[in-house]
Amino acid sequence: MFRRLLIANRGEIALRILRACRELGIETVVVYSEADRDAAYLRLAGETICVGPAPGRRSYLDVPSIISAAEIADVEAIHPGYGFLAENAHFAEVCRSCNIRFVGPSPEAIAAVGDKVRAKEIARAVGAPVIPGSPGKIASEEEALATAREIGYPVILKAAAGGGGRGMRIAHNDFSLVNGFHAARAEAEAAFRDSSLYLEKYVERPRHVEIQILADEKGTILHLGERDCTLQRRHQKLVEEAPSPAVDPELRARMGAAAIAIAKAAKYTNAGTVEFLLDPSGDFYFMEVNARIQVEHPVTEAVTGLDLVQSQIRIAAGEPLGFRQGDVQIRGHAIEARVNAEDPLENFAPSPGRIRHFIPPGGPGVRLDTHAHAGAEIPPHYDSLVAKLLVHRADRRSAISTMRRALEEFVIEGIKTTLPLHQRLFAHPDFLRGEVDTGFVERMLGSRGS
């Protein structure tokens, strides 16, 4: 095991890694920017090193500063957390060249799964379902029709150069496809000066379901079941839960097997997440691999009883996982709510500042991961995550009850937070029934204003 490890991150995930290291008996070195100089969690570090001014690109993202800190502090390993340098193959490569263990996959594996085209090729090669579509650009109406008939309706036309919904058309039959083809071309031409389109299967009302994997460096790859992260706003996850209300053991086994096959093909090690879209009929499609610990990892920790961050460090230190797929059991139901320093009444504008009053929830079934406390300053320079409120109870209904009472207990004053949004979400009949899709939050906000 490592004697000394550097934590190249900040906020709640830096604290999470600190906790894992302290429990493993590893000395910690935590880097910080000038904006985080007074962060309370730094008190828990064995050593702290200021690596730069507030902007992330000059501190937490600055490879030479981080590596230099690792060298002067004489650490054996660096844990990057999530964000910042976590999925940076170059950084992992520099660590290797400096003889420092990067707690994560190899640079090659990061690069392989980080390139979305390559990742999809890997998935296709191992037989994992990917969203079917045209191999390249669609040159003509006839080609569009042929492809659509092959993969089946509904399909979506997307501008090759596009984004933001422009040059995009959904078609449910030949007729709407032909109309859509010409309309989308014209729109794409107008918006991007490039009329080329491609076409793929349109997944209606999908859920976002991801599989957590753990792979040691001895060749053992296991999956720890899924997390359902369907509640999102502008592709930012708000709520995550396990098990998914839409996944049964058979589907879990199939998705798990697909995730493991992809990881194996990418020579993936350490903790990782394979993201899928799940459609209402139970078909799932590979989206991408996240080559890092996820924000929402506590959901999986709760239902499996495993400590994922400790596992990451053990794996990086060369230890075998020490258990098998059959040992992984999903117990009870866990839900996480991300509490962000954002104002739901002002279109989720960031709301940094000093926390004047802070009463965290507690009691049975509640876990809170936060670097915040009464008197803490939430700086404006970084992401707005203030706290992750996790509940774990025997079943989904009890978990929701616990979440609701925990949300009501939670007092944060001085900054605006997404707590009121969560109170609405956890009282919504569609969520209670488990009948949501990735568009749910935006429809809810749209229907009654934000």
Partner 1 sequence: MDWKSLGRLVRFMVRQDLVEVEVEEEGKRLRVRRRDGRPAPEGGAGPGPAAAAASPVPSAAAAPAEPGIAEFRSPMVGTFYRAANPEAEPFVQPGSKVEPETVICIIEAMKVMNEVRAETAGEILEVLAENGQPVEFGQPLFRIRTG
Burial pattern 100-135, b for ≥16 Cβ within 10 A else e, equals bbbbbbbbebbbbbbeeeebbebbeebebbbbebbe
Distance CA 393, CA 377 (A): 32
Which of 163, 282, 305, 322: binder of a second copy (CB under 8 A)?
305
**DSSP class of residue 414?**
S
Distance CA 339, CA 355 (A): 14
Rule CB under 8 A: is residue 363 a binding residue for a second copy? yes
Rule CB under 8 A: is residue 15 a binding residue for a second copy? yes
Nearest-approach distance from CB 149 to a second copy, in angstroms = 51
Which of 114, 121, 130 lies closest to 289, judged by CA? 114
Distance CA 369, CA 338 (A): 10
Structure tokens at 177: 């496809």
Rule CB under 8 A: is residue 44 a binding residue for a second copy? yes
The option from a second copy, partner 1, none interacting with 409 (CB < 5 to 8 A, set by class) reads: a second copy
Catalytic-role residue among 169, 233, 292, 393: 292
- Over the window 22 to 41, marking each residue x when it contacts partner 1 by CB under 8 A and - when it does not, the resulting string is ----------x-x--xxxx-
The option from a second copy, partner 1, none interacting with 73 (CB < 5 to 8 A, set by class) reads: partner 1
Taking CB under 8 A as the binding criterion, the range among 54-62, 212-220, 277-285, 365-373 that sits at the site for a second copy is 365-373
Residue closer to partner 1 (CB basis): 320 or 375: 375
**Burial of 365 (C-beta count, 10 Å sphere; 0-12/13-18/19+):** buried
Nearest-approach distance from CB 18 to partner 1, in angstroms = 13
Residue closer to a second copy (CB basis): 10 or 16: 16
Residues near 267 by Cβ (< 8 Å), separated by ≥ 6?
106, 108, 109, 112
Rule CB under 8 A: is residue 51 a binding residue for partner 1? yes
Residue closer to a second copy (CB basis): 207 or 422: 422
The residues with which 251 forms a beta bridge, in sequence order, are: none
Phi, psi (5° rounding) for residue 341?
-80, 75
SS3 state at 137: coil
Positive or negative, the CA dihedral 340, 226, 291, 217 is: positive
The residues with which 29 forms a beta bridge, in sequence order, are: 6, 47
Q: 201 with 161: CB under 8 angstroms? A: no
Burial pattern 70-81, b for ≥16 Cβ within 10 A else e, equals beebebbbbbbb
Neighbours of 325 (CB within 10 A): 14
**DSSP class of residue 358?**
E
Residue closer to partner 1 (CB basis): 289 or 376: 376
Rule CB under 8 A: is residue 298 a binding residue for a second copy? yes
| 354 counts as catalytic | no
Rule CB under 8 A: is residue 373 a binding residue for a second copy? yes
Which of 3, 72, 163, 219: binder of partner 1 (CB under 8 A)?
72
Phi, psi (5° rounding) for residue 208?
-100, 110
Tell me the one-letter amino acid at 377: E
Distance CA 113, CA 288 (A): 7
The option from a second copy, partner 1, none interacting with 125 (CB < 5 to 8 A, set by class) reads: none
Nearest-approach distance from CB 373 to partner 1, in angstroms = 7
Rule CB under 8 A: is residue 54 a binding residue for a second copy? no
Which of 374, 401, 404, 405: binder of partner 1 (CB under 8 A)?
374
Which of 3, 37, 38, 40: binder of a second copy (CB under 8 A)?
40
Nearest-approach distance from CB 114 to partner 1, in angstroms = 23
Residue closer to partner 1 (CB basis): 67 or 197: 67
Rule CB under 8 A: is residue 152 a binding residue for partner 1? no
Nearest-approach distance from CB 296 to a second copy, in angstroms = 13
The option from a second copy, partner 1, none interacting with 98 (CB < 5 to 8 A, set by class) reads: partner 1
Structure tokens at 125: 């090669």
Which of 46, 129, 360, 439: binder of a second copy (CB under 8 A)?
360
Neighbours of 349 (CB within 10 A): 12
Which of 1, 24, 50, 183: binder of partner 1 (CB under 8 A)?
50
Rule CB under 8 A: is residue 57 a binding residue for partner 1? no
End-to-end CA distance of the chain: 49
Sites of contact with partner 1 (CB under 8 A): 32, 34, 37-40, 42-43, 47-53, 59, 64-65, 67-69, 71-73, 94, 98, 345, 354-359, 373-377, 411, 413-414, 419-420, 423
Active-site residue set? 292
Which residues of the chain form contacts with a second copy (CB under 8 A)? 15-16, 19, 22-25, 40, 44, 298, 301, 305, 307, 331-332, 357-360, 362-370, 373-375, 394, 398, 401-402, 404-405, 408-409, 411
